[in-house]
Structure formats: structure tokens, C-alpha cells
Amino acid sequence: MDKFIVEKSKLSGTVRISGSKNAALPIMAATLLTDNKCVVKNVPCLRDITTMIKILEVLGKKISFKDNILVVESKKPRKHVAPYRLVKTMRASFCCLGPLLAKVKKAKVALPGGCVIGPRPVNLHIKGLASLGADISIKKGYCQAEVKKLKGNHIYLGGPFGSSVLATANVMMAAVLAQGDTFIEHAACEPEINALGQFLEKMGAEIQGYGTPLIKIKGKKRLEGCEFEVIPDRIEAGTFVAAAMAASSKITIEGADPSHLTSVFEASRKMGTKITVSSKSRQIEIKPPKKLKAVNITTLPYPGFPTDLQAQFMACLAKANGISLINEKIYPDRFMHVAELNRMGALIQKTGPYAIIEGRNKLQGAQTQASDLRASAALVVAGLAAEGSSKISRIYHIDRGYENIEDKLQKLGANIKRIK
């Protein structure tokens, strides 16, 4: 199992952001809706992408992936079973359920795995697809569904912690081939849903309102293939903002979409960081202060502060001047990284869905292990600010969601290396 060794570092230079993992995965699932060729560009080379490729191949697709370009074609026979051995590693693979129902009229998809960040039930997925007429049951760890004909309906997708991105994606993909009109209320508004909507439109779907809480879909009989470019990864961009702040270093970020990062910039500026956005060149200059200020952060559905950046910003606040409070409103149990940051000298106390962070002057390098994707990124961020060496094990988590992160950090001057 690989591990990272990270030393305290000063960063400088420019980093280019890769394509969005969270946008690419549902788009890949959406290729199941057509028998024609789809070409998807700017796809990051990640473990999760490789897993989704294997799932699509099992379901009857022929795939080539080179230089961040994914080509998806159909082959016979078409299958409808997404096996547990693949689905267990990645929650987004559950997005195959909707397109399989729409195209094949039946699906058997293993209940998903992924990061250990607290309960993430699939009840909204099932509710939405059942509202379109699917007969769904859970048997022996699989979600089994079939339908004679999907029919449009009014569907409310609000949950106890807000809207669900993957449930919205699943219902969207099923509804584009349903009979009649579908209205999705309390839909997720994340940029990744916007990207999926644009992709489906390029395939010939008729959709209005994606990126808003109300989506209207007029069902079609068939969809065509298309070419599409995946949006940049806003979570990767936010992680590099956190890395710059932790290392008290000025860097430039290229290729990100600033409009996707409004809440991240707001929190960073409150911490004392100067952020300059060049709209023409799409460059974002990050210039943190010598000493970060304490802030309060609440994670919320988009356009609120992303839960996927909570851990990375907690690592920064561990060295901020004062006491900070983080309120995790998306996944209240998403605090597995607290214990590991405390091993590095942080003073963080978890109370229910809250984390209270008392800023310290110094963090100390320590042996730590990653519990999930974003926690692993937080440990890297903390390692860049800590005195001495930080050894981070189980970094296969970070390989799920960051393309060549150690190479990008090394080009910025970070002292980080991967040990096989």
C-alpha cells in the first residue's frame, strides 16, 4: 500500500485544475442511454474513473481512454447487472440504475460503498425512480428494479439534509426516456448537475431548469451520441486554495471556474486571504496572510460551502489565530479526520455535527492514516504546514479523486513523495 511523506513546504507557481470527477461519473453513466458513440473530453485519470469504466464494460460498452479522452461505444449483448465487486468501492456507480431502467427496462445494481463519512441512504433514488413507475426491491445487497414503461411524474427530492446530487442525476437520466413530462422539485443545483443536463441536451434530451431547484424534462423516445467536455473540478481547486493557505504561500490556479467557488472564496477572504480573479485568462491568484484568522463555516448544498472541502479547511483553521467552528450540515458524522489532525498537534473537539478548532502556532509531523478521500487531502494540507515529516498511509483514497496530486504539488515546490 502506498503512502506519502510530506515535509513543511513553501509553495509558488501555477497549478492547472483537472476535469471534475463528480461531473464525469454521472456523465459516463448517461452514455448507457444511447447505442451511439459518445466522446467525453477532459476526463481525469483516477481510480474512480477506472472503476466506472469497468462497470460500463460489464454492462455492454466498449471503451477507450487515453489522454483524458473517453470514447464509449456499444457492443452486444447489453447487460443490466452492476456487480458488488465494483460498486462497493464507489458510491457514484449507483448512478447506473436510472439509465439502465430507462434503456433496458431492468436493472440490478449493488448497494453502493465509497468513503466512510456517515450514513448515505439511497431512499431518495428509489423514491424518485418508483415515482416514474419502476418496481424496486432490495434483495441480498442489490437494488433490483424493472418497468414496462417509465412515465413522467411530479417528484419531490428533498431529504433531511437537503437535496441529493446523485438522486437528482439518477432521476434526470431515467426521465429523459420516460413517457410524458417529469418535474423534479428540490433538485440539486450543483455545477455537476448542470454539466449532466448539458450533456443530456447534447444527446437530444429536452430539459429545462437544470442548475435550479425545479427541473422540467420532456421525455424522448431515443437519444443520440455526442461529444462533450467535462467541467473543471471545483473541489480540487478548493483543495489547492487550502494548501496555499496552510503553507502561507502565494500560488496561481489555472483552469478552474471561479463562478463555482464563490462560497470557498468568501470563507478564504474571511480568513485573511487575498484572492484575485482574472476573468479573461481564468487565473485565480491566492495570496494568504502570514497568520490566518479564525472563522465559522457551515457546509450546505450548493451554492453553500461544500462538504467536500470541510476537512481541508479544518486543516488550515488548525493553525489560525483564534477559535473556529465548523457546522457539518450535509454529513453530520463526517469528522473521521479530526483524530488524525489532533495527532499532528491540532486542538479540535467534535460535538455532534460541530467541530470546535482552537488554532495553534505549530503543527507537528506525525504518522497518520487516511479514512476517506477528502480526509486524505486534509492530511496532505496539514503536512505542508507541520514541522518535521508527516507520513500518510492508505493514500489509495486520494487516488480516487485527485489526478497526480503529488506531481502538481511538487511543481509548486512542495516536499512530498510517494513511497511504494
| Residue 254 counted as domain residue | no
pLDDT attached to residue 119: 45
| Residue 256 counted as domain residue | no
Question: Do 302 and 216 share a structural domain?
Answer: no
Show the cell assigned to 55: 462497470
Question: Do 140 and 57 share a structural domain?
Answer: yes
Question: Do 199 and 71 share a structural domain?
Answer: yes
Question: Do 205 and 102 share a structural domain?
Answer: yes
Q: Is the pLDDT at 159 greater than 60, yes or no?
A: yes
Question: Do 161 and 66 share a structural domain?
Answer: yes
Lowest mean pLDDT among 117-131, 382-396, 399-413: 117-131
Average pLDDT of the residues in 178-191: 98
Go through the chain and tell me how many residues it has. Answer: 420
pLDDT attached to residue 9: 98
Q: What domain range includes position 133?
A: 21-223
Point out the domain boundary residue: 223, 251, 277. Answer: 223
Q: Exposed e or buried b for every residue in 316-347, given b needs 16+ CB within 10 A?
A: bbbbbbeebebbbbbbbebbbbbebbbbbbbe
Question: Do 298 and 152 share a structural domain?
Answer: no
The structural domain count of the chain equals: 2
Show the cell assigned to 201: 441536451
Cα separation, 292 vs 317, whole angstroms = 7
Show the cell assigned to 124: 431518495
Cβ–Cβ contacts within 10 Å for residue 130, how many? Answer: 15
Cα separation, 28 vs 7, whole angstroms = 37
Average pLDDT of the residues in 312-334: 96
| Residue 326 counted as domain residue | yes
| Residue 146 counted as domain residue | yes
pLDDT attached to residue 113: 57
Question: Do 150 and 45 share a structural domain?
Answer: yes
pLDDT (tens digit, 9 = 90+) per residue, 264-319? 999 999 999 999 998 777 799 999 999 999 999 999 999 999 999 999 999 999 99
The answer to whether the CB of 44 falls within 8 A of the CB of 405 is no
Question: Do 334 and 194 share a structural domain?
Answer: no
| Residue 275 counted as domain residue | no
| Residue 358 counted as domain residue | yes
Question: Do 211 and 70 share a structural domain?
Answer: yes
The question of whether 115 is a catalytic residue gets the answer yes
pLDDT (tens digit, 9 = 90+) per residue, 92-137? 889 999 999 999 999 999 887 545 544 456 889 999 999 999 999 9
Task: Look up residue 50 and give its DSSP letter.
Answer: H
Task: Look up residue 416 and give its DSSP letter.
Answer: E
Please pick, among 95, 115, 189, 226, the residue that the annotation labels catalytic.
Answer: 115
pLDDT attached to residue 120: 52
What is the CA 217 to chain-centroid distance, rounded? 25
Question: Do 301 and 197 share a structural domain?
Answer: no
pLDDT attached to residue 302: 96
pLDDT attached to residue 50: 96
Residue type, 414: A
Cα separation, 221 vs 33, whole angstroms = 11
pLDDT (tens digit, 9 = 90+) per residue, 42-83? 999 999 999 999 999 999 999 999 999 999 999 877 889 888
The answer to whether the CB of 20 falls within 8 A of the CB of 192 is yes
pLDDT attached to residue 15: 98
Question: Do 211 and 62 share a structural domain?
Answer: yes
Predicted TM-score of the model (pTM): 0.96
Q: Is the pLDDT at 89 greater than 80, yes or no?
A: no
Cα separation, 212 vs 168, whole angstroms = 11
Q: Is the pLDDT at 168 greater than 50, yes or no?
A: yes
| Residue 205 counted as domain residue | yes
| Residue 253 counted as domain residue | no
Cα separation, 183 vs 82, whole angstroms = 28
Question: Do 310 and 163 share a structural domain?
Answer: no
> What's the mean pLDDT when you consider all of the chain?
94
Average pLDDT of the residues in 374-395: 97
* CATH code (residue 117): 3.65.10.10
